[in-house]
Amino acid sequence: MQIDLAGRTALVTGSTQGIGAAIAAGLARSGARVGINGRSKERVDESARRLAQEVPGARTVPVVADVTTEDGARQAAEALPEVDILVNNLGIFGPKDPLEISDDEWRRYFDVNVLSGIRLTRLFLPGMVERGWGRVQYIASDSAVVVPAEMIHYGMSKTALLSVSRGFAKQAAGSGVTVNSVMAGPTHTGGVEDFVYELVDRDVPWEDAQRRFMREHRPQSLLQRLIEPEEITNMVVYLSSEQASATTGGALRVDGGYVDSILP
């Protein structure tokens, strides 16, 4: 399948590292002009330099903005006024005793993981509908369905994204704009190796360590290894393409079979 995104402009929130950086590279590799987003100009510029080395000829736009705030969302729209592909990737996570999660923490997770994407969708969706083409995606998680006891606040925010994406897909019905969620499973990102080695013998080679970690601590996974960010990127790039024109309102899983369900 040849995916050509030449002539399209994409914005990937939280794209200076991890899954976001991989998605930005994948979209650039397919020909899109990509807005690199982060709160720090230094990190955004460094990420753009890394992407240019990884994808020669990549076209990037720095989008220095804290999109978790109304002012930051407006700044992003000023930096990149016309967006064809919006990937709401920005998110936070962390374990917490469910009975010790404060009201402020509940609000913070909702503001960062959910409301930031809603704001940007409100800003960019009308233009997509007017032009008759667009792609909006929310990076959700297996935790939206298999809610971890130690991360209820995180799971709540990812469950909300499934509802948000389905609702906006209905708002965009018949317009040529698609809206979907991508449910990512346990993923190999920065810091995960240290976390794995906290639970598994450090003398074990990485490939063996991660498989042991998955068997003992994430036994629901059918993949039995961590997912690489590029594997999530493949789904995002496909959903951004012309070939995915009939896929909308969906919650598409890149979870390695972690969710024990036939349907999403």
**Alpha-carbon gap, residue 134 to 83, rounded angstroms:** 8
Q: Which of 231, 240, 250 is nearest to 186 (CA)?
A: 231
The two tokens of residue 1 are 């399948």
**Does the annotation mark 109 as catalytic?**
no
Q: Are 109 and 157 in contact (CB under 8 A)?
A: yes
Name every residue whose Cβ is closer than 8 Å to that of residue 228 and which is 6 or more positions away in sequence: 187, 188
Q: How does DSSP classify residue 187?
A: B
3-state SS track over 43-81: HHHHHHHHHHHHCCCCCEEEEECCCCCHHHHHHHHHHCC
**Alpha-carbon gap, residue 177 to 166, rounded angstroms:** 13
Spot the catalytic one: 154, 197, 238, 258.
Answer: 154
Q: Are 11 and 82 in contact (CB under 8 A)?
A: no
Residues, the chain, total?
264
Residues with catalytic function:
154
